[in-house]
Amino acid sequence: MKTTRRSFIQKTALLSGVFSLGFDWFESKANAGIIQQMNPVLDANRFNAFLSIENTGKVILYSPNPEIGQGIKTAFPIVVAEELDVDWKQVEVRQANLDTQLFERQVTGGSGALKHSWERLRKAGATARQMLVQAAAQQWGVDAISCKTSKGFVIGPNKGQKLAYGALVDAASKLPVPSEVTYKSRSDYQLIGSFVKGVDNYKVLTGKPQYGLDTQKSGMVVAQIVRPPAFGSTLVSFDAAEVKKMPGIIDVVSFKNKVAVVGKSTWEVMQARKKLVCSYSDTSNLESDSTHQKWFDEGMKTDKVKVERKDGDFHAAIAKAAKVIEATYECPFLSHTPMEPMNFFADVRPGSILLAGPTQVPQSAQKAVATLLGVPENTIQVELTKMGGGFGRRLNNDYALEAAELSSIIKMPVKVMWTREDDMTGGIYRPAVRYHFKAGLNEKGEMIAFYLRGVGLNAGNSTRQDNFPVGAIDNVLIESFNYNSAITTGPWRAPITNFLASAEQSFLDEVAAAAGKDPIQMRLDWLQKVKTNPVGKITYEPDRFIEVIKQVAEKAKWGKKGANVHQGFSVYFSHLSYVAQVAEAKIVDGEAKVTHLTAVTDCGEVINRSGAENQVIGGIIDGYGHAMFSKLSFDKGVPQQKNFDTYKLIRGNEIPTVEAHFVNNGIAPTGLGEPALPPTGGAVANALFAATKKRLYRQPFAGPDNANL
């Protein structure tokens, strides 16, 4: 592993005794060759470095990525601290604000943070450690190779040679950056893979302000925004006379089809907005659930599809198949419903703009506000707050733009808050999708033809055409068709695969049953074929698939749990991680109930045992709860569920038990925020089928209409 000095940003602040290494130094073209000296005053306020060590020995690690509950603010520093070889108790973790000069990819999305940053994080820690060792070696007049480190100390070869990192900071910061660094071997890991508690726990447990909605700034007013009730409605006019008479109201302004009520306090604004009288004009074809059903029906018949993948000749193969299996699956729109509703703070002043709030993509917020207001990006500061969940909703900065636009109009610092009803009815949903699968088996029960058509509403390509079992089947045809709906959509935890996997894994269970094969053995046979003779391009590693499947079969005692335990299997590859699951259903008082799930995950190296379990178990509960219970429906463009009294989220008395196992094979880590969710719906549907002999084709499974489509 080589780090060239040319491609390294070293930031030193000699007078302050702070030694910091930039985060994104290597292979960063924009910053190649920069060696900066920073004065201590700037340093003290900067939030632009990744790692700093004070003379006291305190280590400050800056976590650049937005924290939505995925645990990145704990996971990133674990990697740096491991390679730096410090005592975790010496480490203070701080959330970095948006800094496009110092940090790359300050994004929470796609479960991509650890995959992107693993090498960078290790190198940040290892480089600093090596410089501290060098500084100590020079001081003692010994060879650096004869020194070792332990919990924030460099230990020399001779008796009594032991120096704390803090005492070496000044000397180390004057040294050249090493051209090569050595990483710890896995067997020496003390932090990586251990159970590390969330770095924000104390703040959470004592109610300290840290979320966007907790933002309080000097001179700040609060606002709520009234949006058209129906998707497809346009604001024509409004009468705010009564609103303005209400106590605490400062202003009522309109922009972009919306009316903002600005006031001194949240409750006053909530009351006043009820007095607002708006008139809207509707498009002639406001969408209802029945509209969407009609579109799905049409989409399944149209020949104007996009062919996403074609291997061999599906039509010829299905024509000569000994057996054909077909099934159709459908999911509704879903709201993201993070517990903290959308909100953002903006203070727009001439020449300088401050934004603060929950966003998964702060740089996009900066760019979008710059475009909206016609100002340079570098005049916009973005402070990152901790987020009360995101699930993809905060990849869309619509609410941040509202705050910026409103502040620019009223010329006041303002916090825009969405109520729960605003949040649930204000758009950006998981798209509704219908899938049709068809499989052809030969006389031996081997799948020789596989077909999928996805029809989505604002879903783009609703298939993942290169994913398993594609690669194992000779004749494949995968098509997508997208309807442009007035209902706005966006990525929702494990975009597309959150339902595609459920549908596909249910269908493959039907295929196995029709072929008279064990569903696990059928997948293993296919993966053997992929290993020896893959069909076309594949995006997954068959061996890693095989391993999670074998392990889950063993851990869940597949087929060995007796007649009263009905098992369902599912496996899926997404966000570069592999997750196999077995769900168990039992008949309790005459009704089938999912009681347990076992998951085996290959996400490469497990960074934080606690965080990893949280993501897998949480992802499974999320996947299970939404598959069973949740649905957002529409009547004439209006969402029919507006709050948790009608939009059902899973509660603690409805959860199955969950076991989370990890392969933990030491491969560079991949995502965990999403991959555990996609397989769950399929495992659950298959277990419920095993218990009831009834296939489930429509989510939510516990909904009223689970008839065959």
Partner 1 sequence: MESIELLINRKKVKVEVDSNTPLLWVLRDHLSLVGTKYGCGIAQCGACTVWLDGEPMRSCVLPVSAVGKSAVTTIEGLNEKAEHPVQVAWDELDVPQCGYCQAGQIMTAAALLKKNPKPSHDDIVAGMSGNICRCGTYHRIHNAVKRASEIASASNSSKKK
Is 341 a binding residue for partner 1 by CB under 8 A? The answer is yes
Q: Which span (56-64, 143-151, 196-204, 569-577) binds partner 1, by CB under 8 A?
A: 196-204
How many Å apart are CA 162 and CA 108, to the nearest integer?
41
For the CA atoms of 368, 373, 375, 376, the dihedral, rounded to the nearest 10 degrees, stands at 0
Is 209 a binding residue for partner 1 by CB under 8 A? The answer is yes
Contacts to partner 1 from residues 226-255, by CB under 8 A: 247
Could you tell me if 248 and 265 are in contact, meaning their C-beta atoms sit under 8 angstroms apart? yes
Query: Would you give the DSSP letter of residue 44?
Result: H
- The residue among 330 and 423 lying less far from partner 1, judged by its C-beta, is 423
Least distance between partner 1 and beta carbon 493 (Å):
10
Q: Which span (101-109, 259-267, 400-408, 701-709) binds partner 1, by CB under 8 A?
A: 259-267
Is 206 a binding residue for partner 1 by CB under 8 A? The answer is yes
Is 197 a binding residue for partner 1 by CB under 8 A? The answer is yes
Helix-helix angle 398-410:362-373, to 10 degrees: 40
How many Å apart are CA 683 and CA 688, to the nearest integer?
9
Cα 540 to the center of its chain, rounded Å = 20
Site size toward partner 1 (CB under 8 A) is 64
Is 338 a binding residue for partner 1 by CB under 8 A? The answer is yes
Least distance between partner 1 and beta carbon 628 (Å):
13
- The residue among 24 and 200 lying less far from partner 1, judged by its C-beta, is 200
Could you tell me if 37 and 173 are in contact, meaning their C-beta atoms sit under 8 angstroms apart? no
Q: Which span (213-221, 272-280, 319-327, 466-474) binds partner 1, by CB under 8 A?
A: 213-221
Neighbours of 204 (CB within 10 A): 12
3 state SS of 180: strand
Is 207 a binding residue for partner 1 by CB under 8 A? The answer is yes
Could you tell me if 56 and 166 are in contact, meaning their C-beta atoms sit under 8 angstroms apart? yes
Is 590 a binding residue for partner 1 by CB under 8 A? The answer is no
How many Å apart are CA 49 and CA 635, to the nearest integer?
51
Is 337 a binding residue for partner 1 by CB under 8 A? The answer is yes
Contacts to partner 1 from residues 601-660, by CB under 8 A: 610-611, 614, 617-622, 625, 643-645, 649-655, 657-658
Residue 516 has which token pair? 């008279």
Could you tell me if 200 and 243 are in contact, meaning their C-beta atoms sit under 8 angstroms apart? no
Residue 563 has which token pair? 């007649």
Q: Per residue, what are the HEC states of 181-213?
A: CCCCCHHHCCCCCECCCCCCHHHHHHCCCCEHH
Cα 611 to the center of its chain, rounded Å = 14
Is 213 a binding residue for partner 1 by CB under 8 A? The answer is yes
Could you give the string, one character per residue 46-85, with x where binding to partner 1 holds by CB under 8 A and - elsewhere? ----------------------xxxx--------------
- The residue among 625 and 700 lying less far from partner 1, judged by its C-beta, is 625
Least distance between partner 1 and beta carbon 209 (Å):
5
Least distance between partner 1 and beta carbon 402 (Å):
18
Q: Which span (35-43, 142-150, 212-220, 590-598) binds partner 1, by CB under 8 A?
A: 212-220
Could you tell me if 287 and 254 are in contact, meaning their C-beta atoms sit under 8 angstroms apart? no
How many Å apart are CA 547 and CA 443, to the nearest integer?
29
Could you give the string, one character per residue 385-404, with x where binding to partner 1 holds by CB under 8 A and - elsewhere? -xxxxxx-------------
Beta bridge partners of 279: 237
Amino acid at site 365: A
Residue ranges binding partner 1 (CB under 8 A): 68-71, 195, 197-198, 200-209, 211, 213-214, 216, 222, 247, 265-268, 271, 337-341, 386-391, 419-421, 610-611, 614, 617-622, 625, 643-645, 649-655, 657-658
